[in-house]
Structure 1
């Protein structure tokens, strides 16, 4: 049985196709560098690969679920 793994560009394409996300491969690479991606299912040299199931679970359960958590609150103090 062959298992397919996705690199950052394929992850972004999957998220655009399946979830309507506006995301690019460079963003996925940045998330991986910053530790915001799940641990890769496979590594071949410096290249990370994730299964569709891993990405689907991460997308459904990621912190903030798309909310910008790095911005200051716009509520008056």
Structure 2
């Protein structure tokens, strides 16, 4: 089974955010989910992780720092 991770540009396209915003958010603890994978300095998220984050993000205020988005 091949696991497919979303990169910054794919997360941006999926969320409607700019790639720069995704990069910025990913550097702020608790602002968005931690990456599901890291290859060197390249971050990758599972589509489900981003979808859950977007659902929670649209239903209320941001979760507190350290919150588990998964």
Q: TM-score, normalised by structure 2?
A: 0.75
Larger Rg: 1
Q: TM-score, normalised by structure 1?
A: 0.69
Structure 1, unpaired ranges of 5+: 16-20, 66-77
Structure 2, unpaired ranges of 5+: 63-70
Counterpart contact for 1:9–1:26, Cα < 8 Å: no
- Structure with a larger share of its residues in helix: 1
Aligned-CA RMSD value: 1.5
Matches within 5 A, 1:1-20: 1-15=1-15
Higher relative contact order (CA 8 A, sep 6+): 2
Aligned length: 59
